[in-house]
Amino acid sequence: MSTGIFTLADKLQGLNRNLHDQRRERVASSKLRAALETSVGEFRQAKRLSGPETEALFGGRALVGVDGSVSQVGGNYPYTVHLFKSLAKSTLPARNGATSVEQVELLSPLLADNLREIKNFLEERRHEIRVTEGLDDEVLVNDLAEQQAYFMLADKRMVEMELKAAMEAIERFSPYLVLMDGGFSRLKGKGGELWEEFEDLALTMGTIVVGVIEEVGSFRLQSRLANHEDVLNGFLHRHDREILFGTLNQGEWLKTSLDRPIKNEFYTVFTRLSDLPQAGACDFLRGQADAVDDVIDFLYTITPSKSRGIPLWLDVVDAEVRLTKKQIDLIVKSNVDVENIESFLRPQRDRRDF
């Protein structure tokens, strides 16, 4: 047996010691909280709403959850296919009895139309796409750029489909609240004009839209805390998630100041909806920030205390939108001929024996 694994164990212990030493330098949590209160916003405790309270809040309107799923079939670019599905699911049926809006799409460089689209996209975004320099082989360089463009396009496609599903759901169900899986930055960044349209529709229809973020990925708090000496000591990279870990109590949320928002385009608050110490966040449209107290109470109500901190409705939508590997296998095998699968779509790693 190789001894490499023991060497790795040693190295990991070293890392662990390092992390531990770092953490020891941290100030008391109360001091951190005090700093956050001065520079970021106030701590609020969410309450669980009773049935009648929830009914009063929604006034008979629906709750909609929106999520998307993307699955890749095949091997390396360009022998690959992306399957997209987006779903907006409502708690109340529309007039025609439907309770959800679903969109599906397929994207693959194996299709001539799609390939043209990829090449056009590459031309448009040439400036954003950088390929490692120093490669002589021009064909390879082009291939890599194309591949990058393809993945960007796939991301864009997914966002567009989520936004479309959400918009159709707002029109059809006229819900009180729409929960999007993930923050608004991604939607706005990749959705472009469609995002503007979505925002406008939500504001006109009086539908509150919220982006529910499971794991905070932002990097905003450290600049706010910079003038408080010590409080950032002991934090390694000073990402928001690191600072907020264990700082909020269960059901507590950090109501950031509306006058000095964390993000420029949206209104973001930090939350801890379940008993996990990891903080999450919620994005609101700036124009809808005044609904934040009610909405957070409601989200806390529908989040199981022993869960990863996501409102159950988004879990329900997530479960429904996801295409399982089994389903994909089945649908591919029963609709694509074996010769085609084998010659274009079968990655070599599927053939591994172990």
Give residues in contact with other proteins (CB under 8 A).
48-52, 54-55, 58, 62-63, 90-92, 176, 298, 301-307, 312-313, 315-316, 319
* C-beta closer to other proteins: residue 249 or 305: 305
In the bound complex, what is the minimum distance in angstroms from residue 160's beta carbon to other proteins? 27
* C-beta closer to other proteins: residue 326 or 351: 326
In the bound complex, what is the minimum distance in angstroms from residue 117's beta carbon to other proteins? 33
* C-beta closer to other proteins: residue 105 or 320: 320
What residues contact 63, with CB distance under 8 A and at least 6 apart?
Answer: 90, 91, 175, 176, 177, 179, 313
Task: Quote the distance between the C-alpha of residue 73 and its chain's center.
Answer: 22
Q: How far apart are the first and last CA of the chain?
A: 18
In the bound complex, what is the minimum distance in angstroms from residue 251's beta carbon to other proteins? 12
With tokens 């274009």, the residue in question is 344
* C-beta closer to other proteins: residue 41 or 175: 175
In the bound complex, what is the minimum distance in angstroms from residue 341's beta carbon to other proteins? 19
Kindly give the pairing relationship between strand 63-74 and strand 80-90.
antiparallel
In the bound complex, what is the minimum distance in angstroms from residue 108's beta carbon to other proteins? 26
| Distance of alpha carbon 299 from alpha carbon 273, whole angstroms | 8
CA angle at 266 for the pair 261 and 267, rounded to the nearest 5°: 50
* C-beta closer to other proteins: residue 12 or 56: 56
- Where b means 16+ CB within 10 Å and e means fewer, 270-294 reads bbbbbebebbbbbbbbeebbebbeb
